[in-house]
């Protein structure tokens, strides 16, 4: 079923939005030939309170989105347009096993204030992309576990990029059409059960352990040969950076990072942590990773 939009039209000229004030477009880019004026402070990103999937429940502030049941109908939008290069930061609060695939992120020209929530499709990929000017992608497997911090943005060249914790930049897709306001769109899909929008300038690993990570019951149980060497129960799914040791579950790795910030195996200082999948691997003599998450 097509999305119902109260009012939406393409720009009158290619590359020129139809909504702008003074010398700036609504998305903050300048009109060609005008001088840049003082920029207004950016409003903190929140989820749009009305335009959301049928299974989504938001907190009162609009900063946390939770999917109640099933694995779909979890689409949410930012409440304002996002500028090119502006980071959208979120933390995965809960990971639910038993589903295939997880969090989707991207951008859309749809103004959520003009979208009828009941007409939203169950999936952002491919449904919303096929029905509207929307560009989204799934994060690589293992990159949206409980406690992970995801930052994503679109470049001025129309590339959708992301980072997970302090990991390398990921190119998720190309071809995002620029020249008009873009709202962030997220799909709380599959294994991703709940997410929280963050200040994009905040530290990846705050001093307080995220609630989802602190709950040991959310950690996956290990199979033969893949158990965490600290608790011997949960799956080893976390890599310490820069040494590269991957013998720890995310819960135990977090405790080590918080308490001593030194790898229990080699005693190297831990700079950050990233999720991994598959059996544990050893580091090289230079401390570089033999294998990283896909």
What pLDDT does 145 receive?
87
- Average confidence score pLDDT of the chain: 78
Asked whether residue 238 carries a pLDDT value surpassing 70, the answer given is yes
pLDDT tens readout for residues 96-133 = 888 888 999 999 999 999 999 999 999 999 999 999 99
> What pTM, to 2 d.p., does this model score?
0.61
Which pair of tokens denotes residue 172?
């998720």
Note the pLDDT of residue 100. 84
3-class SS of residue 105: strand
- CA dist 82 and 221 (Å) reads 39
Question: In sequence order, which ranges of the chain are alpha helices (DSSP H)?
Answer: 129-131, 211-214, 250-259
Helices (H) and strands (E) in the chain, counts: 3, 16
Beta strand spans in the chain (E): 20-21, 24-25, 47-52, 56-58, 64-67, 75-81, 88-95, 104-108, 134-138, 149-154, 160-164, 170-173, 183-187, 192-198, 238-241, 272-275
As a whole number of angstroms, the distance between CA 289 and CA 275 comes to 13
Query: What is the rounded radius of gyration, in angstroms, for the C-alpha atoms of the chain?
Result: 20
Task: Give the C-alpha separation, 293 to 9, whole Å.
Answer: 41
Task: Yes or no: say if 94 and 214 are a contact pair by the CB < 8 Å rule.
Answer: no
Q: Provide the 8-state DSSP code for 190.
A: T
Q: Is the pLDDT of residue 85 over 90?
A: yes
Q: Give the pair of three-digit tokens for residue 214.
A: 């602190």
pLDDT of 283 > 70? The answer is no
Q: Which of 72-76, 158-162, 256-260 has the lowest average pLDDT?
A: 256-260
233: left (phi over 0), alpha (psi -120 to 50) or beta: alpha
The pLDDT confidence band at residue 158, using thresholds 50, 70 and 90, is very high
Please say whether the beta carbons of 182 and 160 come within 8 A.
no
**pLDDT tens, position by position, 20-76:** 333 344 444 444 454 555 555 678 999 999 999 999 999 999 999 999 989 999 999
User: How far is it, in rounded angstroms, from Cα 119 to Cα 160?
Assistant: 26
Q: Which of 271, 265, 267, 230 is nearest to 251 (CA)?
A: 230
The matching CATH number, chosen from 3.40.50.11540, 3.40.640.10, 3.30.470.20, 3.30.40.10, for 213-275 is 3.30.40.10
Cα–Cα nearest to 140, from 115, 171, 119, 117: 171
Share of the chain above pLDDT 90, in %: 46
**Which residues of the chain does CATH 3.30.40.10 include?**
213-275
**Which structure tokens are listed for 148?**
């992970």
pLDDT value at residue 39: 58
Cβ neighbours of residue 137 closer than 8 Å, sequence gap 6 or more:
104, 105, 106, 125, 160, 172, 173
pLDDT at 294 over 50: no
Closest C-alpha to 293, from 192, 174, 163, 196: 163
CATH number attached to the domain at 21-30+44-198: 2.60.120.920
Q: Which residue spans of the chain are classified as CATH 2.60.120.920?
A: 21-30+44-198
Nearest to 149 by CA among 199, 101, 186, 80: 199
């Amino acid at each position: 079923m097509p999305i119902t939009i109260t009012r939406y039209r393409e720009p009158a000229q290619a590359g020129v939005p139809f909504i702008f004030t003074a010398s700036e477009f609504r998305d903050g880019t300048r009109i060609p030939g005008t001088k840049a004026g003082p920029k207004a402070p950016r409003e903190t990103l929140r989820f749009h309170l009305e335009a959301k999937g049928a299974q989504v429940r938001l907190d009162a502030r609009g900063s946390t989105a939770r999917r109640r049941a099933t694995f779909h109908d979890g689409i949410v939008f930012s409440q304002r347009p996002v500028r090119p290069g502006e980071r959208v930061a979120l933390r995965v609060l809960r990971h639910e096993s038993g589903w295939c695939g997880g969090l989707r992120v991207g951008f859309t020209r749809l103004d959520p204030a003009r979208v009828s929530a009941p007409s939203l499709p169950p999936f952002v990929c491919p449904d919303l992309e096929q029905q509207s000017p929307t560009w989204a992608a799934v994060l690589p497997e293992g990159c949206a576990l409980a406690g992970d911090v995801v930052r994503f943005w679109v470049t001025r060249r129309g590339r959708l990029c992301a980072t997970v914790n302090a990991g390398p930049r990921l190119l998720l897709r190309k071809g995002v059409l620029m020249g008009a306001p873009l709202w962030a769109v997220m799909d709380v899909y599959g294994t991703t059960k709940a997410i929280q929008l963050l200040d994009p300038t905040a530290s990846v690993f705050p001093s307080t352990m995220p609630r989802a990570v602190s709950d040991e019951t959310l950690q996956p149980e290990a199979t033969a040969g893949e158990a965490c060497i600290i608790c011997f129960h949960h799956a080893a799914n976390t890599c310490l950076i820069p040494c590269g040791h991957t013998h720890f579950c995310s819960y135990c790795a977090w405790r080590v990072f918080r308490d001593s910030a030194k790898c229990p195996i080699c005693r190297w200082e831990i700079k950050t942590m990233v999720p991994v999948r598959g059996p544990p691997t050893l580091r090289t003599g230079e401390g570089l990773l033999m294998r990283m998450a896909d």
